[in-house]
């Protein structure tokens, strides 16, 4: 089959600006922060990491190109042993008016944190819902056994599946 660009399905389509599957702990606010001008700060992860590239692909579709100067919103992504969630593939996501932080102890947790951040975006308004999430999987293998199709990787990432 053809190689997926990881944006063929244009996911997420509609999430009510909330993460799914339902996180273990989630506190959502009714306020939103503009991400029209944003910058990304990385700690423990490189700018050419596939997870960061996935995020930038989604932001580019919105017309948002993260910069460094004058951006009102700052997204910090940290791969650190000090992350608040110790469980494997776990992450902490905190979103406020001036910025957001994603913290995880492993790269899969970083991915799930980035996916949750993207799910909390109101793509029509170029805003992200304020709130906080602490999440980790119930079991090590989540997914399905079935046919593969060109967009399979994109679909499974946005369903937070790690196995097909």
pLDDT of 164 reads: 53
Q: What is the pLDDT of residues 2-44, one digit of tens each?
A: 455 788 888 887 889 999 999 999 999 999 999 999 999 999 9
* C-alpha distance from residue 116 to each of 2, 60, 120, 136 (Å): 27, 17, 6, 12
Q: What is the pLDDT of residues 52-72, one digit of tens each?
A: 999 999 999 888 888 866 788
- List of residues 6+ apart from 52 with CB closer than 8 A: 40, 42, 45, 46, 77, 114
Question: Can the peptide bond before residue 12 be classed as cis, meaning omega within 30 degrees of 0?
Answer: yes
Q: What is the pLDDT of residues 85-131, one digit of tens each?
A: 999 999 999 999 999 999 999 999 999 999 999 999 998 899 999 99
pLDDT of 1 reads: 42
* C-alpha distance from residue 39 to each of 56, 59, 88, 127, 131 (Å): 11, 11, 28, 14, 19
pLDDT of 154 reads: 82
């Amino acid at each position: 089959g053809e190689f997926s660009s990881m944006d063929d399905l244009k996911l997420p389509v509609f999430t009510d600006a909330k993460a799914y599957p339902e996180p273990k702990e989630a506190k959502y606010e009714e306020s939103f922060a503009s991400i029209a001008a944003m910058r990304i700060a990385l700690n423990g992860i490189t700018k050419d990491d596939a997870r960061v590239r996935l995020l930038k692909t989604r932001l580019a579709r919105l017309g948002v190109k993260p910069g460094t100067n004058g951006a009102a919103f700052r997204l910090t992504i940290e791969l650190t042993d000090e992350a608040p969630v110790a469980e494997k593939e776990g992450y902490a996501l905190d979103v406020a008016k001036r910025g957001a932080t994603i913290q995880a102890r492993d790269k899969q947790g970083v991915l799930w944190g980035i996916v949750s951040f993207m799910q909390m975006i109101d793509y029509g308004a170029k805003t992200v819902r304020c709130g906080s999430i602490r999440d980790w999987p119930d079991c090590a293998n989540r997914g399905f056994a079935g046919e593969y199709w060109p967009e399979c990787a994109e679909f499974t990432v946005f369903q937070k599946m790690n196995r097909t």
